């Protein structure tokens, strides 16, 4: 079968670690986001949102998600006035339904196992609040693969800033140049590149509603298992 995308073209040293995004990369959580937001909006007496609207906002953290949903439903000043209330309502609603409407993408665990068995250290870095990320990983039995898990509230800055990526690499005990960042959105690639890492992109996530081809990365891989194979091919040449 012909690969749907050109093979990734890595440069640089042998890879020692992979830093992997969560929402849109390992787990499809758009329906959880939608349910949580609709629980919030009902209490604000505002119109419901939809999965189609929400996927364009995912990837930049809860604060961005809330502001984006409020913007078309309230006048600017009113939206700002209600932000703190909305964020608290959303977090309470999301805590009730986290994992209920999610699904694991294909070949996620197989990819993690292949990377681990190849000797890569693994970290999960997401803009999702840390407690929700930990719950998701635990529910799907994925926690065992990650030595480090960082959420959007774990550090003063979140992706696309490189700080979470650099922090994860430091906690794994590897150099950024020996690390690959894998995600579904431009934020993941921007953060990885800014940290001096190789980058891979999966095509099935959200990417703020934009085409995956708009992301500048070292390559598009159809799944985490394909990412593991691309990494193995790179290792064989270094």
DSSP state of 16: -
Strands 27-28 and 103-104: antiparallel
Is 188 labelled as part of a ligand binding site? no
CA distance linking residue 185 with residue 56, whole number of Å: 11
The token pair that represents 49 in the structure block: 């949102």
Helix (H) or strand (E) holding 73: none
Taken in order 107, 148, 59, 159, the sign of the CA dihedral is negative
Chain centroid, CA 102 distance in Å: 14
Bridge partners of 103, per DSSP, are 28
**In which residue are the tokens 């006048």 written?**
75
Nearest residue to 94 (alpha-carbon basis) of 151, 143, 39: 39
Is 184 labelled as part of a ligand binding site? yes
CA distance linking residue 211 with residue 208, whole number of Å: 9
Chain centroid, CA 57 distance in Å: 13
Catalytic residue among 21, 28, 188, 218: 21
CB-based contact 25:146 (threshold 8 Å): no
Taken in order 164, 196, 5, 18, the sign of the CA dihedral is negative
Is 81 marked active-site?
no
Binding-site residue ranges? 21, 23, 184
**Annotated active-site positions, please?**
21
- The annotation places the binding site for Mg(2+) at 21, 23, 184
């Amino acid at each position: 079968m012909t690969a749907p995308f050109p093979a990734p073209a890595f440069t640089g040293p042998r890879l020692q670690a992979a830093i992997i995004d969560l929402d849109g990369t390992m787990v499809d959580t758009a329906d959880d986001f939608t349910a949580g937001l609709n629980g919030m909006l009902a209490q604000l007496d505002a119109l419901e949102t939809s999965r189609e609207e929400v996927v364009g906002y995912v990837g930049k953290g809860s604060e961005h998600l809330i502001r984006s949903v409020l913007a078309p439903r309230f006048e600017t000043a009113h939206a700002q006035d209600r932000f703190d209330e909305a964020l608290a309502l959303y977090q309470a609603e999301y805590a009730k339904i986290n994992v209920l409407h999610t699904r694991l993408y294909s070949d996620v665990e197989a990819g993690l196992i292949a990377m681990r068995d190849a000797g890569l250290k693994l970290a999960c870095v997401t803009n999702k609040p840390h407690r929700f990320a930990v719950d998701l990983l635990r529910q799907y039995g994925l926690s065992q693969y990650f030595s480090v898990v960082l959420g959007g509230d774990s550090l003063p800055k979140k992706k696309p800033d490189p700080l979470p990526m650099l922090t994860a690499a430091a906690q794994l005990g590897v150099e950024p140049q020996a690390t690959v960042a894998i995600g579904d959105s431009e934020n993941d690639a921007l953060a990885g590149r800014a940290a001096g890492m190789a980058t891979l992109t999966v095509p099935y996530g959200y990417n703020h509603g934009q085409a995956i081809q708009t992301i500048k990365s070292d390559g598009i891989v159809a799944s985490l298992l394909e990412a593991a194979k691309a990494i193995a091919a790179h290792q064989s040449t270094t």
